[in-house]
Structure 1
Amino acid sequence: MRNRFKGKDFLAFKDMDREEIEFITDLSLDFKKKWTIREPHEYLKGQVWAALFEKNSTRTRNAFERAAADLGVKVVYLRPDEMQMTRGEPLKDTARILDRYFDGLFIRTFGHEIVEECAKWMQNPVINGLTALEHPTQGIADLMTIKEKKGHYQGLKICYAGNIYNVAYTTMIFCATLGIDLSIACPEGIEPDEKMIAEAKRRAKLSGAKIEITSDFDKALSGADIVYGMSQYSMGQSEEKITHLKEAFKPYQITMEQLKKAKSDAIFMHCLPAHRGEEVTDEVMECDQSVIFDEGENRMHSIKAILAAVAD
């Protein structure tokens, strides 16, 4: 497939079709092979990218900086508290200035409208490192992991248990696009955004995927090839909201007993960081079915492929 991403933004799975998602995933796996055999790949030597992080990060920041280094890209890390945006400078002014200085922007922020606004005012590519709506670099890493461990996508089933937030929405879209059945286990009254459900259902009609939202955890786990854990709450939420979510999601904790309700060869995934003892037990995190650290490593390879694909 021809690279459709060159010079373009990489903001969300909802903006991509099946071919584009598979292209980036396969490119990520190719970059992982280069990493494994230590084949040099400084394809972007001479480029300088800005990294703007408004949320704390372990995997995303370090994966981006290492991916950039391998590609020969210099990264300038921007702290929001040191920039004029914290004193009221319009985002469109900041974005246009950054566009004059850098070959692209990697941004991890809160509302999805922020990355869309940056993309609107910048000519150079913008990569979404996380917003409240989607986490696309994580989504590609997840698909890499699934393909490595299961060999294919079609006909698989994922049971997702955790906060209905960016990773949940990204998972909904890629499952619906690629023909992966998805059962989201969540308490009544905590359901996904209606627009994202509608988009997932539209794509599922084309792929044959089954997208299910259920409060029945046993039903969600039954027949699952992948059990995907997620924090019960997210960064930036109020203490009141966090307390409510932790209480509501208590029955959905992933234990070894619950994991056994999935297929015997099911794998356990989690985007990390995990709150051990809350959404998942330490025993599950450390068991042979857990692939969380392979998945975490794949963040670096996914970001490298995205950078290489969009760079002009």
Structure 2
Amino acid sequence: MSTRHFLTLMDLSPKELGYLIQRAVELKTMLHTGQFHEPLRGKTLGMIFEKSSTRTRVSFEVAMTQFGGASVFLSPRDTQLGRGEPVEDSARVLSRMVDAVMIRTFDHDTVEQFAEYSRVPVINALTDEFHPCQLLADMQTYMEHRGAIRGRKVVWIGDGNNMCASYINAAEQFDFSLTVACPEGFDPPAPLMEEFAHRVTLERDPMKAVAGAHLVSTDVWASMGQEEEQAERARQFADYQVSPALMDRADPQAVFMHCLPAHRGEEISHDMLDDPRSVVWDQAENRLHAQKALLEFLLAGQS
């Protein structure tokens, strides 16, 4: 059987993704009811971080611990990758020592190249182009609160960044429509918009975009590595703040998500995270459960 990787949501079938969401809910229930489940005893996850993180590191480390396995944290200071070793060489060596590799980095080509030369599953824990693990948590959260997302209207407000790109993939894989509201010059990648034109539409006016929405999601205006653009981006995105008033234009049953960390007073109003329509804390917790389902699937198969 060939090694399976998870670099974007398109690496799994809609049926497999549906299984992961259901399994994540089951694993969450098992954890909260004190049921031990250690399918990865004796397994080790290598975690390569070229971008810092709170939720990603903690969720993957705790996931391996709860599954009876282990994890090894590797920063640029801890690996030869940080000293110029070719990605393919690092992949060949590390994949002989660990059972899976999780990479959080800048260039998406890095995870693709690593996967090409790896003997074990490679998981994209974020690149500048995609963030598929976050979407697993988002889809789980929506299902827990509102049921199936199929046929629903989802609205992305803000930069057409890696999160937006993964939402475009999710629209195809989970069968919903996506409206992207962003200022000119910050559109999602044109190839993605063209490939999934049957799923995604662009709307410059956020007030119009959220009309009838069942899920509204956003992200910071300046992502990691874009700090020097913060002031200019704040000016460009001033009309794209998500607030309770904006949410009032969505469907009465709409929920709000943010992948965190959030900048209150910028992409969200100061009171948005505390709004009853906000499910961001469940969303953050579900990174743990969704990634447990993913690790189990890649390393032990379907339960």
Fold equivalence (TM over 0.5): yes
Aligned equivalents of 1:59, 1:180: Cα separation in 2 = 27
Q: Which position in structure 2 is the counterpart of 1:217?
A: 206
RMSD: 1.5
Task: Provide the secondary structure at the position in 2 that maps to 1:100.
Answer: coil
Letter in 2 for 1:186: C
For 1:246, the equivalent position in structure 2 comes to 234
2:255 is the alignment partner of 1:263: no
Query: What residue in structure 2 maps to residue 229 of structure 1?
Result: 218
For the 8 Å contact 1:103–1:125, the answer to whether it is kept is yes
The residue number in structure 1 matching 2:276 is: 288
SS of the residue corresponding to residue 154 of structure 1 reads: coil
**AA paired with 2:139?**
L
User: How far did residue 87 of structure 1 move?
Assistant: 2.1
Contact 1:176 1:211 survives alignment (8 Å): no
The alignment partner of 2:48 has SS state of strand
* Residue 245 of structure 1, CA deviation: 2.1
Q: Name the SS of the counterpart of 1:183 in structure 2.
A: strand
Contact residue 51 and residue 78 of structure 1 kept, 8 A: yes
Query: Secondary structure of 1:296's partner?
Result: helix
Alignment of 1:6-45 (within 5 A): 7-45=3-41
CA displacement, residues 30-63 of structure 1 (integer Å, 9 cap, x when unaligned): 2112112121111110011211111111111101
Give the Cα–Cα distance (whole angstroms) in 1 for the partners of residues 138 and 74 of structure 2: 27
The runs of 5 or more residues in structure 1 that have no matched partner are 205-209
CA change 1:188–1:37 in 2 (3 A) is same
Q: Which amino acid aligns with 1:281?
A: S
Q: Tell which deviates more after alignment, 68-77 or 84-93.
A: 84-93
Measure how far apart 1:238 and its partner are.
5.1
Identify the residue that residue 285 of structure 2 maps to in structure 1.
297
Q: Distance in 1 between matches of 2:148 and 2:82?
A: 45
SS of match in other structure, 2:185: coil
- 1:47 and 1:19 map into 2 onto residues whose CA distance is 26
Distance 1:97 1:177 in 2: 33
Q: Is the 8 A contact 2:159 2:188 kept in 1?
A: no
Contact 2:64–2:71 (CA<8 Å) still a contact in 1? yes
Residues 269-292 of structure 1: CA deviation (Å, up to 9, x unaligned) = 111110111000121111111100
Deviation at 1:198, TM superposition (A): 2.5
* Equivalent of residue 273 in structure 1, options 261, 272, 281: 261
What is the deviation of 1:200? 2.1
Aligned residues: 300
Gaps of 5+ in 2: none
| Residue in structure 1 matching 2:125, options 112, 125, 129 | 129
The 5 Å alignment of 1:132-211 reads: 132-201=128-197, 204=198, 210-211=199-200
Q: Distance in 1 between matches of 2:121 and 2:10?
A: 17
Question: Does the 8 Å CA contact 2:46/2:72 hold for their aligned counterparts?
Answer: yes
d(CA) in 2 for partners of 1:285 and 1:71?
31
Percentage of matched positions with identical amino acids: 36
Matched position secondary structure for 2:194: helix
Structure 1 stretches of at least 4 aligned residues deviating more than 3 Å after TM superposition: none
- C-alpha distance in structure 2 between counterparts of 1:159 and 1:249, whole Å: 16
CA distance in 2, matches of 1:217, 1:70: 41
Give the residue type in structure 1 aligned to 2:226. Q
The DSSP-based 3-state class of the residue aligned with 2:95 is helix
1:123: how far off?
0.7
Paired residue type of 1:234: S
SS at match of 2:71: strand
- Which amino acid letter does the alignment assign opposite residue 180 of structure 1? F
More divergent stretch after superposition (188-197 vs 115-124):
188-197
- 3-state DSSP of counterpart to 1:231: coil
Is residue 175–residue 181 contact of structure 1 (8 Å, CA) maintained in 2?
A: yes
Alignment partners' CA distance in 1, 2:212 and 2:79: 50
